[in-house]
Amino acid sequence: MITRRAALLSATALATTAGLPDLSFAQDTPRRGGVLTVHLNSEQRILNPALRASTGVYIVASKIMEPLVDLKADGSPDPMLATEWSTTPDGKAITFKLRQGVTWHDGKPFTSADVQYTAMEMWKKHLNYGTTLQLYLEAVDTPDKYTAIFRYARPMPLDLLLRALPDLGYIAPRHIYEGTNVLENPANTAPVGTGPFKFVQYERGQFIIAERNPKYWLQGFPYLDRVVWRFITDKSAATAAMETGEVLMSNYSSLALADMDRLKKDARFEVSSRGNEGNASNNTIEFNFRRKELADIRVRRAIVHALDIPFFCENFLYGFGKRGTGPIPSSSQAFFPSEHGPQYPFDLKKANALLDEAGYPKGRDGTRFSLRLVPAPWGEDIALWSTYIQQALTEVGIKIEIVRYDAAGFLTNVYREWNFDLATGWHQYRNDPAVSTTVWYRSGSPKGAPWTNQWGWQSDAVDKVIDDAQSELDPAKRKALYGEFEKLVNTETPLWMAIERQFISVTNKRLRNHHNNPRWPSSHWTDVWLAQ
Amino acid sequence: MRILALAGRRLLASIPTLIIIIAGLFILLQFAPGDTVDALVAQMGGGDAAMIEQLRQHYGLDLPVVTRLANYFWHLIRFDLGFSAIYGKPVATVIFERLPVTLLLMASALSFAFAAGMALGVLAARRVNGWPDTFISTLGLIFYATPSFWLGLMGIVVFAVKLEWLPAGGYIDIAAGYTGWRYALDVALHLLLPTLTLGMIFLAIYLRIMRASMLEVLTLDFVRTARAKGLSETAVVARHVLRNALLPMVTLIGLQAGTMLGGSVVVESVFALPGLGRLAYESVVQRDLNTLLGIVFVSALLVITINFLVDIVYARLDPRIASN
């Protein structure tokens, strides 16, 4: 077993050997105390990560509540509420040994009963992505207070579960939720957890405050007295707050790209995607196969060939992003394949030839046909990307009409009503392709389920590979299956993960020991400290 | 008594207005693509279809539109604004928490715009076509033409980021934990830039109206009579001209109460103020129908109340109005 302290040390060692510029924390001794103010750009309805898997929830609640495992700097599982794990050879029973001597913030002891209740009543019934992950979870046995055995109807690969749990494995207190309406429990906005910080106050539209948990199980931690999250919806106002020092950190690319580029040159800040490796957000192009032009593979390939991704990244994204190679991003150490299958580099000649071949010659005005593009409203990069697609495709004679909606309108039009030709947004990779990536390609998803295959595309070969990989117990074989999967979908291009991106954090350099694991903005912040 | 009768008639007439506003908005919002569950799912970053369907039932979105509208009015009759899907609290509570900030911002911006606009308008009218008039009118034109978000951001850049005199946003300094007078001062400091930003555009309007109305009144016979009596110029302006010139200004306050609520959306966003305008925007984006209708209801009440007060002030300024 590896303790958290050892994990922290190894994180420091890794950071040092990687030759990172900010080495000051290696020399300074951590200081206790201080208030960390963090920028939040949207109001949250629920602050319980056992019910809502979302970055907006994690950035607050992961300091208050804890998952069974988190991620270490090298991407391997970091023991949190679970200290050991093992699986039976058939993969149908996975045993977690739980940490002893942990208490909830209200003083009650943490036991396997909490794990059982959370898994069966929250992850399996309400948690987005959790309901699919735990679809075959039949029961959680609790032979003693510190053992929880997950029983599955179909084999569950241990490595898949461990990679999913940092996001989908938060534990909620049974004694507070049992016998209540889980979705309306007041603890959802005033979370009670076991984490390093205790919830204090949630003032709607203004701030959330959490303070040091003096009885935290990791002795001597956390360093900070308080964490304050401030709601600032306007990007320019948030940048101003960073510059005046009223806010010390902004995560998940919440500032304007131009401002981040400017702050990068300011010695007071670190602007980087370090510590966000576990959270790739690819820019996509989604094709509606109900349009006869787009059902033709030559047209889809032509579209991808017509887009100059390096040019776009350099000139629109200030270099924050690179060409995507397929559904599995390069940051995924466990699954990034060595061969990706066909790639479609920028080539206008080829694009034009493919379109001619498909039987869509240029008309007198130079247009072959027109398409409606529906961009997602989150992220400045998506707006820029859709404008770029429009301009780039004009070059090969495809006229693009951009139709913008807000979040609810986008989801309704694209996923519920299939009212689009091309759509673009973010695909978020969550450590393992089985968590939230393969659903983009697997057929049979019911109409209206967002971020699933709603394109009208179907491939038995791809469906089979996805299903096989989901219950394959041998990690090496799983990796091979996902390599196979990537080759298949890159050949068919039912959608294209055009740009590989990571979220960008802007951090005031007074902060030390930050971004030292692959999902740092969403993790515990136990060891972060503030210099004077 | 006459004033009261006038007021009563006004209030009675506002009830159908309220009903039309609410029913109209309710129906209008049905045309917006997506509902609160779509917005919720967008915030969560995904979920499966069964869970989404379950949430829709949870929020009562599976009921027909007519039933929902009827339900809403039935609640409203009992002074119940319903339950907010975003905030998980009664709408009345949510609005009540946000109302003070907006009222404070509106009141201070309006007073600032009215007072400064009046003073500058009088000054411009008394030096008509001279350099002070030209200067003030140009200034007014610039303020009127400048978008308020830009003005606000420039204010932040200059006074918060560069000079570090004022806070960049927010309503209070959370970390400081002030109480009593120090708290009031802190709020005042935080509201200074937003007030100026929101007030500037209105100042420009008041300035122009005041100037025009002064110029008009100054040509009237009774002013000539007053001057002929041998009153000093200051006395003429203060006692005879001002009172008559103020009438259109007061009308404007009533008309602009609504506009100001709209303008506060931008200002509250730029300065991260937890006000009603910001809440309204958030409710639209999150498709939180109950909250939005609640805000519209309260804003309509607010505008009606302000107009009511304006009517009374009006009657005081010009007794002929009440007697008609």
Give residue-wise pLDDT tens across range A136-193: 999 999 999 999 999 999 999 999 999 999 999 999 999 999 999 888 888 999 999 9
CB-hemisphere CA count at 13 Å for A151?
A: 7
CA distance B194 to chain A (A): 12
- What are the Cα distances from residue B219, in Å, to A436, B205, B251? 76, 22, 21
Q: What is the largest CA-CA distance in chain A?
A: 77
Strand residue runs (E) in A213-331: 226-231, 249-250, 269-272, 280-287, 322-323
The answer, for A446 touching chain B at a CB cutoff of 8 Å, is yes
pLDDT of residue A196: 96
Q: Which of A132, A228, A428 is closest, CB to CB, to B174?
A: A228
The answer, for B103 touching chain A at a CB cutoff of 8 Å, is no
Across the interface, do B86 and A378 touch by the CB < 8 Å criterion?
A: no
Across the interface, do A45 and B171 touch by the CB < 8 Å criterion?
A: no
ipTM: 0.80
The C-alpha atoms of residue B126 and residue B218 are separated, in whole angstroms, by 9
pLDDT of residue B323: 64
How would CATH label the architecture of B98-318? Orthogonal Bundle (1.10)
Cβ–Cβ under 8 Å, residues A445 and A135: no
Residue A336 located in a structural domain: yes
At B138, list the tokens: 């140009």
The C-alpha atoms of residue B242 and residue B317 are separated, in whole angstroms, by 10
Q: Which of B94, B157, B167 is closest, CB to CB, to A246?
A: B167
Cβ–Cβ under 8 Å, residues B210 and B249: yes
At A320, list the tokens: 């924050």
- Of residues A66 and A445, the one with the higher pLDDT is A66
pLDDT tens-digit series, residues A458-484: 999 999 999 999 889 999 999 999 999
Residue A333 located in a structural domain: yes
Tell me which of A132, A411, A440 to substitute to probe the interface with B (most B C-beta atoms closer than 10 Å): A411
The residue type at B139: L
- What are the Cα distances from residue B158, in Å, to A243, A336, B149? 12, 48, 14
Query: How much is the average pLDDT of A111-120?
Result: 96
Q: Which residue has tokens 């309901």? A: A131
What is the pLDDT of chain A when averaged over all its residues?
A: 89
At B178, list the tokens: 């002030």
pLDDT of residue B28: 86
Query: How much is the average pLDDT of A70-81?
Result: 89
- Of residues A44 and A256, the one with the higher pLDDT is A256
pLDDT bin (cut points 50, 70, 90) of residue A2 is: very low
Residue A212 located in a structural domain: no
| End-to-end Cα separation, chain A, in angstroms | 35
Interface of B with A in 248-307 (CB under 8 A): 269-272, 274-275, 278-279, 282, 285-287
The C-alpha atoms of residue A152 and residue A92 are separated, in whole angstroms, by 5
Residue A150 located in a structural domain: no
Tell me which of A47, A244, A413, A420 to substitute to probe the interface with B (most B C-beta atoms closer than 10 Å): A244
The answer, for A126 touching chain B at a CB cutoff of 8 Å, is yes
Q: Mean pLDDT, 10 residues at a time, over chain B (324 residues)?
A: 72 83 86 83 76 81 84 85 83 88 88 90 85 88 86 88 84 76 87 89 87 87 85 81 82 79 82 86 86 87 81 76 62
The C-alpha atoms of residue B68 and residue A2 are separated, in whole angstroms, by 56
pLDDT tens-digit series, residues A39-64: 998 888 889 999 988 888 999 999 99
Residue A253 located in a structural domain: no
E strand or H helix that includes residue B263: helix B242-270
Residue A382 located in a structural domain: yes
Q: Please state whether the peptide bond connecting residue A214 to the residue before it is cis, i.e. omega within 30 degrees of 0.
A: no
Closest to B98 measured CA to CA, from B305, B223, B273:
B273
Q: Which of A204, A378, A447 is closest, CB to CB, to B87?
A: A204
| Cα B62 to chain centroid, rounded | 35
pLDDT at A259 over 50: yes
- Of residues B243 and A529, the one with the higher pLDDT is A529
Across the interface, do A209 and B174 touch by the CB < 8 Å criterion?
A: yes
- What are the Cα distances from residue A84, in Å, to A99, A119, A120, A282, A528? 9, 18, 21, 33, 25
Domain count within chain A: 1
Tell me which of B30, B36, B40, B87 to substitute to probe the interface with A (most A C-beta atoms closer than 10 Å): B40
Chain B residue numbers with beta carbons less than 8 Å from the beta carbon of A445 are: 49
Chain B residue numbers with beta carbons less than 8 Å from the beta carbon of A240 are: 153, 156-157, 160-161, 168-169
CA distance A257 to chain B (A): 17
CATH number for the domain that contains residue A430: 3.10.105.10
Q: Which of A189, A243, A408 is closest, CB to CB, to B39?
A: A408
- Chain A residue nearest residue B164, CA to CA: A244
Cβ–Cβ under 8 Å, residues A75 and A278: yes
Cβ–Cβ under 8 Å, residues A276 and A431: no
pLDDT of residue A64: 96
Chain A residue numbers with beta carbons less than 8 Å from the beta carbon of B32 are: 408-409
Residue A420 located in a structural domain: yes
Closest to A311 measured CA to CA, from A327, A322, A325:
A322
The answer, for A416 touching chain B at a CB cutoff of 8 Å, is yes
pLDDT of residue A26: 47
pLDDT of residue B166: 85
The C-alpha atoms of residue B75 and residue B266 are separated, in whole angstroms, by 31
Give me the residues paired with residue A282 across strands: A427
Interface of B with A in 125-184 (CB under 8 A): 149, 153, 156-157, 160-161, 164, 167-171, 174-175
Which range has the worst mean pLDDT, A2-11, A420-429, A498-507, B85-94? A2-11
Q: Characterize the bridge pairing of strands A369-375 and A197-203.
A: unpaired
Q: Characterize the bridge pairing of strands A249-250 and A35-40.
A: parallel
pLDDT of residue A391: 95
Q: A348: domain range?
A: 279-501
The residue type at A400: I
Helix residue ranges per DSSP H, A376-432: 380-395, 407-411
Residue A182 located in a structural domain: no
pLDDT tens-digit series, residues A317-354: 988 889 999 999 998 888 999 989 999 999 999 999 99
Cβ–Cβ under 8 Å, residues A31 and A223: yes
Tell me which of A38, A43, A183 to substitute to probe the interface with B (most B C-beta atoms closer than 10 Å): A43
The answer, for A204 touching chain B at a CB cutoff of 8 Å, is yes
Across the interface, do A53 and B88 touch by the CB < 8 Å criterion?
A: no
What pTM does this model have?
0.85
A-B Cβ pairs (cutoff 8 Å, strict): 170
pLDDT of residue B322: 63
3-state secondary structure of B113: helix
pLDDT of residue A25: 45
Q: Which residue has tokens 């986008």? A: A410
Cβ–Cβ under 8 Å, residues A336 and A330: yes
